[in-house]
Structures are given as structure tokens and as C-alpha cells.
Amino acid sequence: MNILNRILIIMIGCVLSSMAVAKDLTVGLKSEPSSIDPHYHNLGPNNSLSAHIFDTLVGSDENQQHYPNLAVTWKPINDTTWEFKLRKGVKWHDGSDFTADDVVFTSKRAANVPKSPSGFGTYLKGKTFVKIDSHTIHIKTEKPYPLMPNDLSTVKIISKKYGEGASTSDYNSGKAAIGTGPYKFVEWVPGDKIVLKANPNYHGALKGKPAFNKVLFKPIKTGPARIAALLAGDVDLIDSVPPLDVARLKKNASLTLTSGPSNRVIYIHLDQFRENSPYIKAIGGGEIKNPLMDVRIRKAISLAINRDAMVAKVMEGIALKAGQLLPAGFHGVSPNMKPDPYDTKAAKKLMADAGYGNGFEMTIHGPNDRYINDAKIVEALAQMLSRIGIKTKVETMPKSVYFKRASAGGPNKSPEFSFMLLGWGAGSGEASSPLRALLHTYDKSIGMGRANRGRHSDPAVDKIIQQALSTVNADARGKLLAEATEIAVGKNYGVIPIHYQMNTWAAKSSLSYQPRTDEYTLVMGISNN
């Protein structure tokens, strides 16, 4: 074989190899993000999508273990200062250089996005970012703060050049959606599609260069429609396979299914701050003092929930019943807490002891396109509560409407609903995440209780949470987090856990997906079989 033929073969091989990598991908998503702005809403679909476009300082893998991302090293240099060394040579999607100025700008902007339903102040308040040089940052706190890497694994870094003066709508249009991530933003048509394209200059911290040339995300709300799209070849992968269909699809040789446990607890938030709650009435419709402010009623509701039936029948066995904020294996979980038993007799006695033996009327609110079987869960809760004398009405709605109303739809932008179904995934990988977001007293100035839609408040719990957040020793911090959980959930019933989600992805047989405890659907986790 002469040299020209060898060169031709090599060139053809390179082209074929390039074509194999530079293919397109279509993904069917149950839940569409509410914005492209990575700081607008601390919500799973938003965080998942933004991870393609924007990077964090600290990466978080499929098991929420940390790895160097935009920061290559981090360490405390004294009791109240962390030093982060930034990755050199990283380019923004427009070709400009990533520097410490972008990190400092992000720290100020991310905690203060207008009209945010649930922002990132929880992870940034009380921290002062100081530029030391173009690729070194110091982050200062008033007290020792061991969770700095955890917190900074949740906040996407944005470009100062494009972010100054930019609104959420500027990110949604693409004008400001310039990141350092493996994919570039192309287009978002709400309700129809999100289009990304490969970033050939990606720094490669997460599994190397992009594997796909173009990625199309299609929101497909219902499970049967997502499955039909996959079987028809209209999409290559879907998330949130309905539990009812898992066994059937596993028998299909043309598909690959992967499942994994989640860090997400599905729970109830209850109005604990209004004497007259808007969606609670006496039997017959008259005014009544809010019964949810009485811990006996909250406990009665927990005892009225048949968690075994919820898991077995509503979730088709693909869930784990919950008694606290995180399943076993996560840091800060209490070894002393178990799910409440199903006991309607005890629940009715508590109702009578609290003065509500005749029951009351209540509307249960929930989303119908956010969590696995969310509308079915709400319907099941209504049936269960009716058995102890709580006459219920159900109202579900798209998450784009639901979260805004749940967070700030009431007077003076207070939470609107009385009794609501929600979910929380521990972004930091330990119990401090749900404790400070869901159960610490709501205090916007310090970034605490940002998702505390029931406005539960216990100064004793606040004190323990704050002590845990400044406790460097991991074992000691874990015990404090467990103690706070035992009081806030086990004693106060500040929230009522129902179950932990299990998640399943399905793909055509040539592909497979690496399940993640944070539930994100990342193109970077898709591999060829």
C-alpha cells in the first residue's frame, strides 16, 4: 500500500470517527425548566439544564461526590477563610477568558435575582468573595464554615461581561446565556424545545469533550407520551419513566433502562403562620381557626398517611417510605427516626384532643408535572385524610404556576396555600440542605428558610442548624443535623415526609444513562453501549 492510500485511509477514518462523535441527540423531559437563568429558581429541572451551559466551581458527580471543575483546588487557610484556585485557560462561549472577576460578580448576583420563587441566597448569604489575583478567590465568613465546597457545588458561575445589567429574560432569550459548560445555548421555545450545541473549547473537567454535536430537549409532560416518543424513535432517551411501566419496558430488547435511588424526599408543607388559613374551613364552609398550627393535628395527618400503600400502589413499589428528610446513607440522617405507622384510630384521637373531633374542610394543592406521579399522590392523600374526618378538595396545576403561588401568591407575597405537596433534593448531599431551606425560620436577610413555605419556626431548631453549619468536625456536625431533624420533623412535624423517589431513565438500546442521586438528566451521563 503506497503512502497516498495510507493517508487516504487515515483521513477517512478520522472523518468517520468525527461523524460518530458529532451526532445529534434528542431527550424527552417530564419537567421543563422555568428559566434558562441559572440563578432564577433553585429547582431540579432548572439546575439540570443549566449544568450543560454553565459550570460550578466545585463539581458534583452522580453520587454527589466532589471533583475539581472551575476551581482546581480549595482549602481553608484559616478559621474563617477558604481559598479557591481557579482553572486557567477556561474560555467563555464567546471566547473571552474566565477569571476571578466572574466569580465575584456571580456571588453578588445569584443571591438577589428579582422575583425568584426559590433562590440561591441560602448558599451565598454571609459569604464575602474577595479577588486575590486573576485566578485566586478568598471567601470569608464570620464563623468557621466547613460546607463551603458543598455550597459552591450548587451555584453556577456566570459571565460578568454578559451578566451585568442582564435580566432573567435576557438569559431566556440567549442574550446573556453565555457559559463555560460543555454545551452552548441555541434556542428555547417554552413548551416546545430547548436546543444546545457542542462547545468545542470545553475545558473537559466533566467526562471530556461533548459527545454530541446538537442536543434537543423536548418537554413531554405525560409518561405515556414520553414512552410513545421513545418507542417511535422520536427521542433517544427519556427521564421519569412512570413506575407502572418499568417492568414492561425492561422486557423490551430495543430499550435500556437504568434506575437509581434519589436524594429527594416528597413531603407536605403545612401553613403554620396564619390564624385564618385561606384554604381551610369548618365543616359546612364557615370560618375556623387554622388547625394546622396545632402539632397534634399535624401528627394526626402523618398517622393518617398509609405510606406502605402509597409506595406499593401509587408508586408501583418504586419508592421508599420516608420518616425524615434524607434516606439512610446521607450525612446527618438520624438513626432514631422511622416513618410513622398508619394508625387512623390514634389520628382520630389526636384530632378530638385538639378540638377538631368533627373534622374540617381543606384544599390540598400540588403540581401535576414536577414529581413522579405527583397528581396521583395528592389524590391519594385526599382519600387518606378523609378517613379521619378531614374533608378534602384537590387542586393541581403546572409547576410554572404552582411554585410562584406556593412561594409568594398570598398577601404581601406570602405563601398562598394551606397544605401543599412538595419535594426537596439535597443539593449539598447532606441534611443541612433541607434543614436550612425548609425548616429554619424564614429570614431572607441571612438566606435561611428560603423554601419554608409553611413558615415553620422554632428558635431551638434554628440554633442547632446554625451551630451545625459552623461545626468543622464532620461527625459532630452530623449529630447536630440529626438532632435538628428529630425536633423539627419528629417532634414538631414542621414538614411531613411521605417517601423518597426512585428514578428510572429509558433509552434506545445503543445508549445507557448513569443514574444520579440528584435526579438530573445530563447529556454528559449518556454513554454508548
| Domain residue spans of the chain | 20-219, 262-502
C-alpha neighbours within 13 Å on the C-beta side of residue 523 = 30
Q: Mind listing the pLDDT tens digit for each residue in 4-16?
A: 343 333 343 443 3
Phi and psi torsions of 49, nearest 5°: -65, -45
The pLDDT value given to residue 206 = 62
At the topology level of CATH, where does 262-502 sit?
Answer: Dipeptide-binding Protein; domain 3 (3.10.105)
First-residue to last-residue Cα distance in the chain: 34
The pLDDT value given to residue 8 = 38
pLDDT > 70? residue 113: yes
Question: Could you tell me which residues are beta bridge partners of residue 188?
Answer: 194
The pLDDT value given to residue 207 = 65
Q: Is the dihedral of CA 49, 125, 152, 513 positive or negative?
A: negative
Centre a 10 Å sphere on the Cβ of residue 171 and count the other Cβ atoms it contains: 27
Measured CA angle at 511 (ends 510, 516), to 5 deg: 160
The pLDDT value given to residue 343 = 98
Q: Residue 364 in contact with residue 419, Cβ under 8 Å?
A: yes
Q: Residue 72 in contact with residue 79, Cβ under 8 Å?
A: no
Q: Mind listing the pLDDT tens digit for each residue in 412-437?
A: 999 999 999 999 988 778 899 999 99
Average pLDDT of span 81-107: 98
Give the pLDDT band (50/70/90) at residue 122. Answer: confident
Residue partners of 391: CB distance under 8 A and separation at least 6? 283, 359, 360, 361, 362
pLDDT > 90? residue 121: no
Q: In terms of pLDDT, which residue wins out, 115 or 92?
A: 92
The pLDDT value given to residue 355 = 96
pLDDT > 60? residue 347: yes
Q: Is the dihedral of CA 446, 452, 455, 458 positive or negative?
A: negative
Instruction: Tell me the pTM.
Output: 0.80
Q: Mind listing the pLDDT tens digit for each residue in 273-324?
A: 999 999 999 999 999 999 999 999 999 999 999 999 999 999 999 999 999 9
Phi and psi torsions of 424, nearest 5°: -140, 125
Superfamily in which the 20-219 domain is placed by CATH = Periplasmic binding protein-like II (3.40.190.10)
